[in-house]
Amino acid sequence: MRIFDRYAKLRDVVKSGSLHTGQKEVLSFLKGRLGKDDLPGLVAEPANEDELRAVYEYAASKEMKVAIASGLKPVEVRDLRGQILVLTTRMAGSPAFSSSRNTVRVSGGMSLEALAIDLTHAGQRWLPLLPVPAKMSAGAMLASGWEGLRNWRDGGMLSHISAVEWMGTDGVVHRTGPSVSTGGAIDVTGFLFGSRGSAGVITALELDVQPVPQERTSALFELPSARAAVEVMAALCEFEPLAETVIYWGEAATEILRKGNDGTVSDNAVVLLTAEWRDEIRWPEEWRALGKPFHDDLAIDALWQDLLRFSRTATRLHPERTEATLRVPASALEELENAARELGRDFNFPVALWGTAEAGHLHVWILKPDAEPRTNVRADELLKKIVEVTVDLGGCCAAGNTLPFDLRNGRASLGRTLREQFLKKCDPGSVYIPLMKG
């Protein structure tokens, strides 16, 4: 009977969205090894700002905590017993282009895959979407610290956002970004980048878009070592026009790509670099022994399709992984690759390095045969050693990491203090709780 429904008052408000309380219902949104203390008491899918505000108000009145996820894929959680898990899946609508067609307003819950389709139909593109992250929402992209891969020429994701709207846990809607930072207002988009829900739910973004280019050139460099990759990257930095993207695939990543594709990667390749320009370029003679260009759109798209099999092949060969994203100077790639190979051999885990050095994020994937506790502990130990090597080489952890260890440098930071003040303003009642504690 309704009288025994502790969420009855909340159901009266959340009518367009959904509330899920039964254990079977709740489990359908989760993954991993879960105990009774991990399961949230309520999974809420608000459909608009009013319903989201009602969820926050209910949580505050009942002294409950709120964790946040996109809902586009199952998530692993810890210690959410009796708390609320908010999914932003239903907070999605059709993108709206500005009259000038140079920006598009996107709901925070919108799937990036759906956005990519809409942009293609409109003859437009948003650079960080190439390639498109699978099963990720627009809000989660910003909150997780997704950098994008096309950042050599035009910068990373933050360079292509003109405004962000989000709701703090007190129900207040805020707006920030370069297009609204006037009259002394401070752009705090950088604090939302990698915040993972600690500032509240990102409800909308305005993205800077551009027409699909008329000309494209792509390249695949098959190289004998990480040192050779560093030398080619230096040459690419000097080349005009500058490439939009240059992606490094380390030794383990190259082997995975070779196993996942028939003939795309030769047996001689130890590491790979892939590059793309939004121009028709003349291929330098000295590059002919290192790689080959692709000028035809179909050939370029086919190359990207082969490269994007990487994640699926990695999962097929190694069902589980522990991962992190790092900011790494290009000059450090050789030493980092050597350390990853040797440490991986010591711990008996392959370590795949891939992504953009210098201008973006390098992804570290520690590939595991299973998710047993002992396996996870050893993978965490290996990841910590790799991060320590990265820091010694002048790199650092990228925003959005949820690492199982603390990497303190012992120095006070003005930026850290400002960030803490910002998060306290967005969550004055300390309602937020992370999905995973660690």
Identify whether residues 142 and 56 lie together within a single domain: no
- Domain of 379: which CATH number? 3.30.70.2740
Residue 63 lies in a domain: yes
| Count, residues in the chain | 438
What pLDDT sits at residue 436? Answer: 84
In a domain, 438, yes or no: no
Does residue 267 belong to any structural domain of this protein? Answer: yes
Mean predicted confidence (pLDDT) in 407-429: 78
Where does the pLDDT of residue 217 fall: very low under 50, low under 70, confident under 90, or very high at 90 and above? very high
Q: Which of 281, 311, 341 is the last residue of a domain?
A: 311
Q: Tell me the pLDDT band of 408, cut-offs 50, 70 and 90.
A: low
* Mean pLDDT (the chain, rounded): 92
- Report residue 404's pLDDT band, with 50, 70 and 90 as the boundaries: confident
Task: Say which DSSP state 323 is in.
Answer: E
| Residue 429 is assigned to a structural domain of this protein | no
Q: Are 301 and 326 in a shared domain?
A: no
Q: What is the pLDDT of residues 36-69, one digit of tens each?
A: 999 999 999 999 999 999 999 999 999 999 999 9
Co-location of 100 and 205 in the same domain = yes
Question: DSSP string of 147-193?
Answer: --S--TTT-SGGGGEEEEEEE-TTS-EEEESTTT--TT----HHHHT
Query: Quick one: how far is CA 134 from the chain centroid?
Result: 10
Q: Is residue 80 part of a domain?
A: yes
Give the residue numbers spanning the domain of 175: 96-211
**Cα Rg, the chain, nearest whole Å:** 23
Residue 285 and residue 333 share a domain: no
Same domain for 111 and 157, yes or no, is yes
Q: With a cut of 60, say whether residue 340 has pLDDT above it.
A: yes
Residue 316 has pLDDT above 70, yes or no: yes
Judge whether residue 438 has pLDDT over 60: no
434 found inside a domain: no
Give the pLDDT score at 1: 45
Q: Which of 211, 240, 266 is the last residue of a domain?
A: 211
Over residues 257-278, the pLDDT tens digits come to: 999 998 899 999 999 999 999 9
What domain count does the chain have? 4
pLDDT tens sequence across 124-141: 999 999 888 889 999 999
pLDDT band for position 400 (cuts 50, 70, 90):
confident
The whole-number pLDDT of residue 185 equals 76
CATH number of the domain bearing residue 262: 3.30.70
Q: Is the peptide bond before 241 cis (omega within 30 degrees of 0)?
A: yes
Last residue of a domain, one of 45, 62, 87: 87
Query: Residue 105 maps to which CATH number?
Result: 3.30.465.10
